[in-house]
Amino acid sequence: MSRKITFLTLFLWLMTVTFPVIAQQKTDTTYTFRFVSQKDMFYVPWNGNDTELARLLECIENSKATIFDGKLPLLVDGYCNSLGGEAENLATAKIRANRVKSELITRAKIKEENFITHNHATGGDFVIVRLTVPVKETAATDAEVRRKAETERLEAEKRAEQERLAEEQRKAEEARLAAEPTVADRRERQKAEAEKTAQQNTLAGTLSDIKITNDYHLFLRANLLRWATLTPDLGLEWRICPSWGIAVNGSWTSWTWSDKDRRYALWEVAPEIRYYMGEKKAWYLGAMFKAGQFNYKLSETGKQGDLMGGGITAGYQLRLNKALALDFNLGLGYLNADFEKYEVIDGVRVRRDNETKDWWGPINAGVTLVWKLF
């Protein structure tokens, strides 16, 4: 029995010593209010702000007398780091802190002087309000309280930073998903790539055809219209560059019949310079000179003499394959013919008179087969 009384007495003594200390050790109470990134508007029913505000108002109500006496200030820290520069972040942090204080002034009827405000351009997008109840304790206890309050503040900042990083990651994922092409987009892109490849292949084939005229080549020419009139015609063309060529054609024939009473004979030489145009270098313009002699006797009177002239030419080359082409051309210009008229009497040619004629108009026409030698 005496032992029980001894234990009871010791317990009461310990309670008497420790209860006042326990009653006085009140740590900081922290309240965190979240803000939308890059915004300064205080949304109460958002992200738990209404719950925190209710807790804070209850705490203020319980300590209102101490707060109004100035013994219990409300410590307000505004944070913002989602904007571009430090000055802009500080300005937004200040606005956020003021909005929270305005809400407390309106609801709890406290005054501006009851707040101690600090603003920060780091940490996150939130405002922290802390209440520190004055205590009558030793320096060690006061340091412990401050340490615990700082720990809570750092944990709140850490949570806010984690939330900010999570929000940034969510936005980045949404942007990635938005940028990722759908099945229809991929099909459309594949179709466009296939069309582009086909166009490139077509262009490559066209360029391979164009290469015939883009390199330096020598061509053999034969005017099929002259050959159709039993007048052999041959020529050469040298493409000195992709756009310029030098050509020369020559014709010769000599036919007689009716015991040499009828005759068709001539020779001509026609040098020409050409300029090729267009992507395929198929169309061209040129300048031609023509000189030769003729002897025609298709009736009782024959004509024998010289001809000379020149003009401009135009034409188009139709590619048949890599080696052959057809050259359609027409020349317009001037020809001068100086000739004598004659008759054949008893096998003797008798001259009648001389004559000169000038001609303006077509001076050359051809459908020429062109063969690339090299």
pLDDT in tens, 255-274: 888 777 788 888 999 999 99
* pLDDT, tens digit (0-9, with 9 covering 90-100), for 107-117: 998 889 999 99
Mean local confidence (pLDDT), 339-355 = 85
Kindly tell me if the per-residue pLDDT of 19 is higher than 70.
Answer: no
Encoded tokens for 245: 């060529």
* pLDDT, tens digit (0-9, with 9 covering 90-100), for 39-75: 999 998 888 999 999 999 999 999 888 898 888 999 9
Contacts of 293 (CB under 8 A, 6+ apart): 266, 267, 304, 305, 306, 307
- Which residues share a beta bridge with 268? 251, 292
First-last CA distance in the chain: 133
334/362 Cα distance (integer angstroms): 8
Domain 25-178: which CATH number of 3.40.470.10, 3.30.1330.60, 3.40.50.300, 3.20.80.10:
3.30.1330.60
Encoded tokens for 120: 């920060």
Task: Please state the pTM of the whole predicted model.
Answer: 0.41
* Sole residue written with tokens 């391979």: 208
Strand arrangement of the beta sheet that strand 115-120 belongs to: 29-34, 126-131, 74-79, 115-120
Contacts of 61 (CB under 8 A, 6+ apart): 108
Q: Pick the residue with more confidence: 293 or 199?
A: 293
What confidence score (pLDDT) does residue 28 get?
Answer: 58
CB of 127 closer than 8 Å to CB of 104: no
* pLDDT, tens digit (0-9, with 9 covering 90-100), for 147-159: 887 888 888 888 8
9/272 Cα distance (integer angstroms): 137
260/255 Cα distance (integer angstroms): 9
What's the CATH fold of domain 218-372?
Answer: Porin (2.40.160)
What confidence score (pLDDT) does residue 184 get?
Answer: 67
